[in-house]
Amino acid sequence: MTLRRTQSLCPVCLRRIAASYEISSRDARSVVLRKTCPDHGTFSVPVWRESGEGALATPPFAAWSRPKNPSYPANPRTPISQGCPYDCGLCPAHAQHTCTGLFEVTKRCDMACPVCYAQAGSVSNPQCCEAGDIPLAVIAGQMDTLKGASGPCNVQISGGEPTVRDDLPQIIAMARQRGFGLVQINTNGLRLSRQQSYARTLRDAGLDSVYLQWDGVRESSFMTLRGREGLDFKRAAVRNCADAGLGVVLVATVVRGVNDNELGDLLRLALDLGSAVRGLHIQPAAFFGRYPWQLEDAPRLTLPDVMAALAGQAPEMVSPGHLHPPGCENELCSFSAVYRRVQNNGQPGLQWLPDAGQSCCAPAAQTVAQTAVQTAPQTAPQTASQTGGTIAPPPAEEGARKAKQFVAMHWKGGDAADAGAAASNSGADGFSRFLAQAGAEQRFTLSCMAFQDALSLDLDRVRGCCIHVVRPDGRMIPFCLHNLTASNGTRLYGEQP
């Protein structure tokens, strides 16, 4: 049974082809994305697996909906020539604004992880030496391009491993000087653990948040995914970040059969590490870049698989009913929830805050149910009478705006509450005032983002992407397309010059 039609790519030749979401012939509670290339045959990949009963039941595919009206770029950088996904820059057809702009400032890395989207740190990578670092002047131009196109969005400085650059404080200062909402680095934590004063140096330069790779609670998982043990040095990195007043988000790449049975304990560990850890962000592995499996046989997890794992392994804190679809990106890309840190019998715990999450990026519960059958997005707002009395989908731009504010407030360290209070007193809107009073330092975000690879790519999802990699030539490419590789490793978008 076909549930929805879209377009995708052949994972072998990267040709654009028709695709459809269908109920799996093997399991009536599973949905697959199916597509056929005239040259390379039919491909099918699971994208949704319902499970559980009662309070532990994960949501059905049809009900996991968050419609929104598209918001197109005011000043698109590239024209439409070959059509999506070949014209990114952004092109006039892209339907969402930038929530997070990402700068890959180096291809170098002090690790060579077996699983790496960027293929960094490998001796086979011709750009793994210092000469391949992006010059400061070019990075400044990239930042100016992003600011001009997207305003004060959030930014993430990534790589490779950005901390291998000794001029990283300068790069952070450049971002801070341009007034971006959140300045964050994406790091493995090695340098932060080895140099106690380094976190303070980055904080003084203007850093707000550390997006810290942390895949599990067992060294065996680190060995499989990262090629080395990691628990001790990552604990040291968190301590140093906390001492410097930086917010930390633990980021777990999760692979079926490797570390998906550690999510409950990882959540408990995140709470044990203290209030500097502002959230746990889970990424079911997408299979592009470097990975040790064959694309079609890769051990995949879907969003409801992660929901079920969290609820099953930490039922005292998490229920699938806490988790809502996003208001920024496409609903099949992510889920999130907001909690308050509490103490339960002397142990760190969580209390769900339903209003906090709904205020940021989800519709009211009844709206989700009403939109179970997805319709094509409208190009103009509708009135209640036009929608049969239901609330019209909000503009995608509004979801992006709220998501940017929410992430910046909750993932910052140290003076996040003071910053929020300043926003509250500056005539900001109601949502900003809500955040200012939110007590962000006692809140904890739980989120998951499912990136797309050559098998799972859905061009409707791509057009709604709000995480854009800013390339040296100024083009802004949706994250999944920037990293996407065919089954033989060929990149859809080639290496940056």
**Cβ partners under 8 Å of residue 34, min gap 6:** 19, 20, 21, 22, 42, 43, 44
The DSSP bridge pattern shows strands 347-352 and 476-478 to be unpaired
Distance CA 216, CA 218 (A): 6
DSSP secondary structure letters along 192-257: HHH-TTHHHHHHHHT--EEEEE---SSHHHHHHHHSS--HHHHHHHHHHHHHHT-EEEEEEEE-TT
Angle at 336 between CA 420 and CA 400, to 5 degrees: 60
pLDDT tens string, the chain, 497 residues long: the values are: 999 999 999 999 999 999 999 999 999 999 999 999 999 999 999 999 999 999 899 999 999 988 888 889 988 999 999 999 999 999 999 999 999 999 999 999 999 999 999 899 864 454 456 777 999 999 999 999 999 999 999 999 999 999 999 999 999 999 999 999 999 999 999 999 999 999 999 999 999 999 999 999 999 999 999 999 999 999 999 999 999 999 999 999 999 999 999 999 999 999 999 999 999 999 999 999 999 999 999 999 999 999 999 999 999 999 999 999 998 899 999 999 999 999 988 899 999 999 876 545 544 433 333 333 333 333 333 333 344 445 667 777 776 677 777 777 777 887 544 444 434 333 445 545 554 555 667 899 999 999 999 999 999 999 999 999 999 999 999 999 999 999 999 999 987 65
Phi/psi of residue 6, nearest 5 degrees? -155, -160
Contact of 288 with 493, CB cutoff 8 Å: no
- Which residue type sits at 64? W
Q: Do the Cβ atoms of 400 and 463 come closer than 8 Å?
A: no
Q: Using an 8 Å Cβ cutoff, are 172 and 205 in contact?
A: yes
- Of 56, 50, 54, nearest to 315 by C-alpha is 56
**Which among 256, 328, 302, 254 has a CA at the least distance from the CA of 456?**
302
